[in-house]
A and B are shown apart, each in its own frame.
Chain A
Amino acid sequence: MKKIAAMIMLALLAWAGPGGAQEIKIGLMCPLTGDWAQEGRDMQRFLEMQVEDLNAAGGIKGIPVRLIVADDGGNPRSANLAAQRLVESQVAAVVGTYGSAVTEASQGIYDEAKVVQIANGSTAIRLTEKHFTGFFRTCTRDDFQGRAVARAVTRLGFRKVALVHDNSSYAKGLAVEVEPLLQAAGVEIVYYDALTPGERDYSTIITKMKTLSPEAVVFTGYYPEAGMILRQMQEMGWKVPIIGGDATNNLTIVEIAGREAAAGYYFISPPGPQDLSGEEAKAFMAEYEAKYGQMPGSIFAVLAGDAFKALVKAITEAGSDYEAISSYLHNDLKNFDGFTGPIAFDAKGDRVGDLFRLYRIDGEGKFVLQP
């Protein structure tokens, strides 16, 4: 039986042979299955549309681009294989992925294979502290966002807050950054704990927070939980402002919470898919909405789009080998017009510039940019 298994394996090996000749391959590593499948699907749709548009316009210097998608399942061990798979497909560069631990599991592989990787949703600080020359990201780091959140809390004048995360590496990472900043700013943190994502009933935590009477709640997790908290706070007749991070920048939050409960919710985020400013971005988003009947769920698909755009620019200007792309992205890409604003990377591969804006949801359920 083992023989047969080995033969099957060899057959599969032969079957996964090299592809066509004259094309530039760009890999997309994203979660198409598992808990984050929505993000992965949006990323794939976004990039597929971009590739279509690009190829319709003649590709990169006349050479068509092919997108190769690998499912990382939102899990580090699966990501390891997805990364090897993309490397084997001889991609020029890779966009993705979403979760930090998942990205971390793939970083070493891309570095050893000399493939440029631009992550779009992985915010853990240490990813860019490893000095991989070919690693970039279009999202910002937890500490940048932490500062933005702390700034918003102090600017809105809250002196006493509850800080809630959901134990995911993203939410907890952000909470860990926010906590000392708030304390340094003299804001009292009366409650600091985690909820369990995926549950529906957060009334226990809300009741608990209510007894501690904070002036505001800072929630660093994702939008489904934020929506539930808003809704259940209203049901319990307790109204204090909530401030969230960029993972709550999602139109569904209004639907989940209900318009009335969502009103007054603050969040910190790069500009969302619905209010991108550039003309090109607007046209693209309209095209996207027409094609799929809805906007991308969150900002991260757009950030994947930014990553793709930056890659195309770099390959056009500098060619498709590792050194050329990474040195171009590090040194020569300045003020490049992305979907979410100007793109440039620093020496570590982090995105330069302060993307974060403060938004507030108004009574109509619209996301309003705060001055």
Chain B
Amino acid sequence: MIVAERLSWVLKLRRGHKLNMEVFFQQFSNGLAIGGIYALIALGYTMVYGVLRLINFAHGDLFTSGAFLGYTFLVSLALGQSAGTVGAILLVVLLVMGVAAFLGYVLERCAYRPLRRSNRLNAVVSAIGASIVIQNSIMLIYGPQVLVFPAGMKPNVIVEIFGLNFPLMRFFLFGASVMLMLGLYFFINRTRLGTAIRAVAIDQDASRLMGIDVSQIISLMFMIGAALGGAAGVMVGVYYGQITFTMGWIYGLKAFTAAIMGGIGNIPGAMLGGMLLGMVESMAAAYISAGWKDAITFLVLIVILICRPTGLLGERVAEKI
């Protein structure tokens, strides 16, 4: 009798334990999904920073404009009607990346290039101004209301793995983020243009002497950064379905955090930082408190920076201002 009771108690514990592991994996995957998006946006930050040493506060708003452009393309151009939704989304992502790259180019030309020779903080203020301008332009063009991507845009398939439910889109999203990141990584490290970019990042004047058109490289970096931001915007729009003109602010801040966490200016650092940030957020919300989540995340960030003052993968270099 007693033995049976004991046994059932142990079994209960076991079952509870198994359940907890299941929940843990579920939360882990939630964290990865969020982290993938942060990483993608953080890439844009890091790229621009790597070359210009400029914190592009408008990056979050380029992300928003990507989401809204994606909405326009999908809804107005009736691309969603064509049968292959995945194909349509891919096409839209490419279109948006193009337009966002153009926006990034214009932004760099108008707001940052005149300030390239001045103090870095002045360019930061110009970026804040640009952020206000973009955000309010979106509000004036699309109106302040929440826009919703047309239903049925995304395949609502739910995949079951080891008894856990995952929306199929999450895999697409994550896969797309990783693909873009890897592509970028190889572009920077394996191509001629990438070499030029790295050269400019290290020393602009020396690169100029070596025959690299520094202005062009900087424009290019802005375009790539903006395109990545725009792509992230469309993906978030399609995946989560709702977009507002103020959404870039919070994502921008998170991505900035991710970039810093990994060591700003460092591409693998942005990926790692993004994933880690998503994970910390998810675990904090799951096991400590959802309301304190962001505070906990920032605390973790501060602790990381106290231990490693240039982020997880950042190089220890003296800064010249």
Contacts and interface: CB of A to CB of B under 8 A. Distances in A.
Interface string B280-321: 011001100111011000000000000000000000000000
Contacts of A35: 246
A236 B27 CA distance: 12
Interface in A179-220: 193-196, 198-201, 203-205, 207-208, 211
B23 A203 contact: no
B31 interface: yes
A235 interface: yes
A255 B148 contact: yes
B285 A38 contact: no
Given A193-B289, A224-B242, A255-B148, A198 B165 contact: no
B179 to A, nearest CB: 20
Size class of the B contact interface (CB-based, 8 Å): 35 or more
B143 A196 contact: no
A72 to B, nearest CB: 14
A263 B291 CA distance: 28
A231 B236 CA distance: 14
Contact of A201 (B23, B240, B289): B240
B290 A204 contact: yes
A33 B139 contact: yes
A240 to B, nearest CB: 15
B19 interface: yes
Given A198-B247, A207-B23, A33 B136 contact: yes
B167 interface: yes
Most buried by A among B165, B236, B240: B240
Nearest to A192: B291
Contact of B151 (A167, A193, A259): A259
A227 interface: yes
B146 A224 contact: yes
A237 B294 CA distance: 27
Contacts of A194: 290-291
A207 B26 CA distance: 7
Interface string A222-238: 01100110010001110
Contact of A252 (B19, B37, B145, B291): B145
Contacts of B23: 207-208, 211
Contacts of A201: 30, 33-34, 37, 240
B242 A204 contact: no
Contacts of A231: 241
Contacts of A236: 165, 167
Nearest to A227: B242
Contacts of A297: 145-146
B158 interface: yes
Q: B-side binding surface: helix, strand, loop or mixed?
A: helix
A143 to B, nearest CB: 22
B236 A237 contact: no
A37 B242 contact: no
A207 B30 contact: yes
Given A200-B236, A204-B30, A208-B290, A38 B242 contact: no
Nearest to B157: A235
A236 B281 CA distance: 19
Contacts of B245: 37
B150 to A, nearest CB: 9
Contacts of B144: 37-38, 40-41
A195 B26 CA distance: 18
A258 interface: yes
Contacts of B242: 200, 224, 227-228, 252, 256
Contacts of A237: 158, 165
B244 interface: yes
B250 interface: yes
Nearest to B284: A204
A237 B163 CA distance: 11
Contacts of A223: 146
B247 to A, nearest CB: 7
Interface in A256-276: 256, 258-259
Contact of B291 (A37, A38, A167): A167
A201 B169 CA distance: 13
B297 to A, nearest CB: 10
A167 B292 CA distance: 10
A223 B236 CA distance: 18
Interface string B78-107: 000000000000000000000000000000
Most buried by A among B34, B246, B250, B290: B290
A35 B145 CA distance: 10
Given A207-B27, A208-B286, A196 B293 contact: yes
A258 B151 contact: yes
Given A193-B290, A211-B23, A256-B148, A198 B285 contact: no
A38 B165 contact: no
Nearest to B290: A193
A256 B237 CA distance: 11
Contact of B139 (A37, A167, A227, A255): A37
A193 B291 contact: yes
Given A167-B291, A228-B240, A38 B27 contact: no
- Sort A-B residue pairs by CB-CB distance and give the 3 closest, nearest first: A37-B144, A194-B291, A200-B240
Given A37-B245, A38-B146, A194-B291, 17 more contacts: A33-B139, A35-B246, A41-B143, A196-B290, A204-B285, A205-B290, A207-B26, A208-B285, A208-B290, A224-B244, A228-B240, A228-B241, A235-B158, A252-B148, A252-B242, A297-B145, A297-B146
Interface of A: 33-35, 37-38, 40-41, 167, 193-196, 198-201, 203-205, 207-208, 211, 223-224, 227-228, 231, 235-237, 252, 255-256, 258-259, 297
15 contacts: A37-B139, A38-B143, A40-B144, A195-B290, A198-B249, A204-B31, A204-B286, A204-B290, A205-B290, A207-B27, A224-B242, A224-B244, A237-B158, A237-B165, A252-B146
